C-alpha cells in the first residue's frame, strides 16, 4: 500500500482556565516543528478557549500576535465543555491530520511524531495513546482512577469490539477525513468514549501508541472527577444506540 501524502498537522488545544500552562503548552508544541518538518509536515495550532475566567484567552491572543497564522485562536462566549471545544477546533482546522493536545501538559508534545506515524505510514485512520503501554515517564497517582479507567475501557471495548487499553486517554489523532466524518454530539468529557465508538462504527483502522503521562492532582488543576466516570457509562451506551447516525469511511470493510 502506498502511504498517503500529508502536508499539514493541526494540533487542537481545548482549554479552560489554563493560564498557568497554556503558553508553555503552545511553546512545547511549536518546539516540535523541526521534527515535523523532517516528516514533511507543516504545523498549525488551533486553540479554543472555553470561556475561561482567568487570563487564558489573553495569553493566547498575545501569543497569536507573535506566531501569526501558525496559531489560530477561537473563543466560546460561555462555557460549553471539552467536547464542544474540540468540535470548534475541528471547524477551524485545515490540516490533513489532527491531534488533540490537552492544555495542561499532562501529555508530552514530544510524543506527537510517534502518535501520527501509523497514519503517515498509511496503516491507520486514527491513533489512540495509552498511558498503560510501557511508554515514557508516568507520574504515579490515583489508584481508583486507574481501576475506574480499566472498567470503562472494558465496557467500551465490549460495545465497540476494539481492544484498547486506555479508552479515556485524551491523546487521540486522526486523519482529517476520518475526523470530519465523525458524528460527535457530546459537549463535555463524554467526548472520549464517543470518539472511540465513532471510530469503530465508521470502520476506521485504529492503532494504539504508548505515551508519557505527567498527571496533575486536583490541587494542581485536574478537572475530571468520579462524576465524569459515572457519566461515561451513559455516554458509552448512548454512542452505541446512535450508531446509525455514523457513516462509514469509504473503503472500510463491511
Closest C-alpha to 222, from 90, 128, 54, 105: 105
Confidence band for 236, pLDDT divided at 50, 70 and 90: confident
String of b and e for 172-208 (b: at least 16 CB within 10 Å)? bbbbbebbebbbbbbbbbbbbbbbbbbbbbbbbbbbb
Residue 156 has pLDDT above 60, yes or no: yes
Rounded to whole angstroms, how far apart are CA atoms 138 and 134? 9
Instruction: Report the pLDDT averaged over residues 209-223.
Output: 66
Residue 128 has pLDDT above 70, yes or no: yes
Per-residue pLDDT tens digits for 55-76: 999 999 999 999 999 999 999 9
CATH topology of domain 8-245: Spore Coat Polysaccharide Biosynthesis Protein SpsA; Chain A (3.90.550)
Question: In the prediction, which pLDDT does 141 show?
Answer: 53
Helix (H, G, I), strand (E, B) or coil at 123: coil
Q: What is the largest CA-CA distance in the chain?
A: 49
pTM: 0.89
Per-residue pLDDT tens digits for 137-146: 655 555 656 7
Confidence band for 5, pLDDT divided at 50, 70 and 90: confident
Strands (DSSP E) found in 65-187? 71-75, 97-100, 126-130, 172-175
Amino acid at each position: 500500500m502506498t502511504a498517503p501524502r500529508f502536508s499539514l498537522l493541526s494540533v487542537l488545544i481545548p482549554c479552560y482556565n489554563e493560564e498557568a500552562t497554556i503558553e508553555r503548552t503552545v511553546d512545547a508544541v511549536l518546539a516540535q516543528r523541526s521534527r515535523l518538518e523532517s516528516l514533511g509536515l507543516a504545523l498549525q495550532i488551533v486553540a479554543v478557549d472555553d470561556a475561561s475566567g482567568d487570563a487564558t484567552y489573553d495569553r493566547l491572543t498575545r501569543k497569536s500576535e507573535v506566531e501569526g497564522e501558525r496559531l489560530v485562536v477561537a473563543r466560546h462566549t460561555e462555557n460549553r465543555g471539552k467536547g464542544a471545544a474540540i468540535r470548534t477546533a475541528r471547524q477551524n482546522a485545515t490540516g490533513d491530520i489532527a491531534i488533540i493536545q490537552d492544555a495542561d501538559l499532562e501529555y508530552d508534545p514530544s510524543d506527537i511524531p510517534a502518535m501520527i506515524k501509523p497514519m503517515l505510514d498509511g496503516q491507520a485512520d486514527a491513533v489512540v495513546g495509552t498511558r498503560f503501554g510501557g511508554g515514557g515517564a508516568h507520574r504515579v497517582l490515583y489508584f481508583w482512577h486507574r481501576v475506574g479507567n480499566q472498567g470503562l475501557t472494558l465496557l467500551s471495548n465490549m460495545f465497540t469490539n476494539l481492544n484498547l487499553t486506555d479508552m479515556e486517554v485524551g491523546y487521540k489523532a486522526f486523519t482529517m477525513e476520518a475526523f470530519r466524518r465523525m458524528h460527535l454530539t457530546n459537549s463535555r468529557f463524554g467526548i472520549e468514549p464517543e470518539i472511540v465508538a465513532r471510530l469503530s462504527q465508521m470502520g476506521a483502522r485504529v492503532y494504539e501508541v504508548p505515551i508519557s503521562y505527567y498527571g496533575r492532582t486536583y490541587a494542581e488543576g485536574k478537572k475530571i472527577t468520579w462524576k465524569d466516570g459515572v457519566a461515561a457509562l451513559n455516554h458509552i451506551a448512548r454512542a452505541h444506540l446512535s450508531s446509525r447516525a455514523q457513516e462509514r469511511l469509504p473503503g472500510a470493510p463491511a
